[in-house]
Amino acid sequence: MNNYKIDITELWENVYTKIDSPDGFQRINELVKKQDKQCVALLFDNGDIIECSVDHLVQRHNGEWIKSQELQYGDEILTSNGTTRFIESLDIGMHDVYDLEVDHDNHRYYSESIVSHNTGKSSTAHSIIKEVNGEALWINASMEKGIDVLRGKVGKFASQSSFDDKIKIVVMDEFDHFSKDGQAAFRGFIDEFSANCRFIFTGNYKEKIIQPLLDRLEVYDFNNFDKQEMIKPIFERLSFILNNENIKFNPNDLKPIIKTYYPRIRSMIGALQKFSRNGEFVLNENEIDDINIFDKVMQYVNIATFKEMITEVNKLNAPDNLFTYLYHNAGKYFPETNYPTVIITIAKYQHMSDSVRDKNLNTAACLTELMKLR
C-alpha cells in the first residue's frame, strides 16, 4: 500500500498488498468480511476516531490487547506516535466489518494511528481453507441465528457441487451465538452433506453448543492444549520473533513471560515489545509477574483492607485471570471449611465477567464478598 490513508472498503474492492504497522509495511494475506456486527466509534484524545466492532482489539501501552467494548476512560493505547488516551465509545449500530490477516508474527497494523490486531479464530479457519484450496461460505452466526439460514444459504451451498472440484467448506463464525433450534437442525445438515461439504465452527464458549453437535465434530479448545507440549513451540516462536527483529535476548528471560501470560500468546508478544529497547530484550520481572500481584491483592483481602485491595485490583491488566488463580490456590488464603462457598463465589463472578463492562469492578466485587470468608 502506498503511504496514504484509505477507507477499509478500498482494501476489499481493490488490490492492496501491504499495510503500515509498528513492524513496518506488511503484506495482507487475507481479508475476511463479516456482516452485521455490532459496532462502536472509539474516540481518542489525539483526535483519532475508529469505527469498529465491539470485539475489535487495540493494544495498550503495556503490550496487552483489549477489546473495544472493554476500554475504560483514560486507558493508554499504542499509536504510531507513542500513546493516546481513550475518551469515549459511541454506539453506531450494526455494520459490515472487515478483518485483516497480516503476514507478520505480531499480527498487527495501524487503524488510523491506533495499533490494532487482525483476525484470530477466523484467521485460523481462513488458513485451513487456503491450505486445502477450498471454496468457502462464511456465515456470521452471531447475527444470522435461525433455521432459515440453514434452509437458505447453507443448504443451497452445501448441496451443490463445486465447478472446479474444490472442497466446499461452510464456516459458521461465532457459532456459540447460534440459536439452539438451529444447532439441533445442524446435526441433520452435517449427516446429509458430509460427503460433499465440510463444516468449521468457531466460538469462544463451546459449552453453549449442544452436545449432540459437538459429538459430530473434532473440538479444538486453544486453552486446553497440553501445556507441556505447548511450551516448546511457544518458546521457539518467541525466539524466532526476537531473532527476526534482530533483538538480542537471554533465552532464560522468555520463561517468566511464558509462565505469566500462558496461554495468551498475544500478551506474550506484547511483553516482547514492551521490554525491547535499542535492539535488546531486557526483562523486568516486577512489571510482568501477575502472580506476585495476585498474592499482593489477596494479602489485602486477608486483612480486610478494602482501599488497598481496590488500588491493586485496578493495576491488573487481565483481572479475569485472578479467578483461575484463586481456584487453584484457595487453600493458601481461606480456611478449608469455607472452600465450597469460596468456589461458588469465584464461579459466580467469573460467569458474570462475560457480560460486564468493567472487569476490574467485577473482580473487586468478588474479592469484597470473599473478605467475609477469610
State the SS3 of 172-195. Answer: EECHHHCCHHHHHHHHHHHHHHCC
What's the pLDDT score for residue 1?
37
Residues 301 and 344 occupy one common structural domain = yes
User: 84 in helix, strand or coil?
Assistant: strand
1 located within any domain: no
Q: Which residues contact 223 (CB under 8 A, 6 or more apart)?
A: 263
CA nearest neighbour of 118 among 137, 138, 104: 104
What's the pLDDT score for residue 284?
74
Q: What is the pLDDT of residues 198-219, one digit of tens each?
A: 888 887 677 778 888 888 888 8
Looking at the structure of the chain, the number of domains it has is 4
Residues 210 and 252 occupy one common structural domain = no
CA nearest neighbour of 40 among 56, 25, 51: 51
> Of the residues 170, 192, 220, which one is the last residue of a structural domain?
220
Domain that holds residue 87: 8-118
Q: Is the model's pLDDT at 2 over the cut of 50?
A: no
| E strand or H helix at 137 | strand 135-140
**How distant is the alpha carbon of residue 198 from its chain centre?**
25
CA nearest neighbour of 51 among 60, 42, 61, 63: 42
Q: Given pLDDT bands bounded at 50, 70 and 90, which one contains residue 4?
A: very low
3 located within any domain: no
261 located within any domain: yes
Residues 62 and 134 occupy one common structural domain = no
Q: What is the average per-residue pLDDT within 160-164?
A: 74
pTM: 0.49
Residues 360 and 266 occupy one common structural domain = no
Q: How far is CA 115 from CA 33, 47, 86, 172, 271, in A?
A: 20, 15, 13, 28, 15
Q: What is the pLDDT of residues 207-250, one digit of tens each?
A: 778 888 888 888 877 666 666 777 888 888 888 888 888 889 98
Give the whole-angstrom CA distance, residue 25 versus residue 4: 12
What's the pLDDT score for residue 320?
76
| Phi, psi (rounded to 5 degrees) for 188 | -65, -35
The mean pLDDT of the chain is: 77
Q: Looking at residue 294, which CATH number applies to its domain?
A: 1.20.272
Residue found under cell 531486557 = 282
Q: What is the pLDDT of residues 129-160, one digit of tens each?
A: 777 778 888 777 766 666 666 677 777 887 77
DSSP class of 59? E
Give the whole-angstrom CA distance, residue 96 versus residue 38: 9
> Of the residues 81, 103, 118, which one is the last residue of a structural domain?
118
CA nearest neighbour of 83 among 56, 106, 60: 60
Q: Looking at residue 204, which CATH number applies to its domain?
A: 3.40.50.300
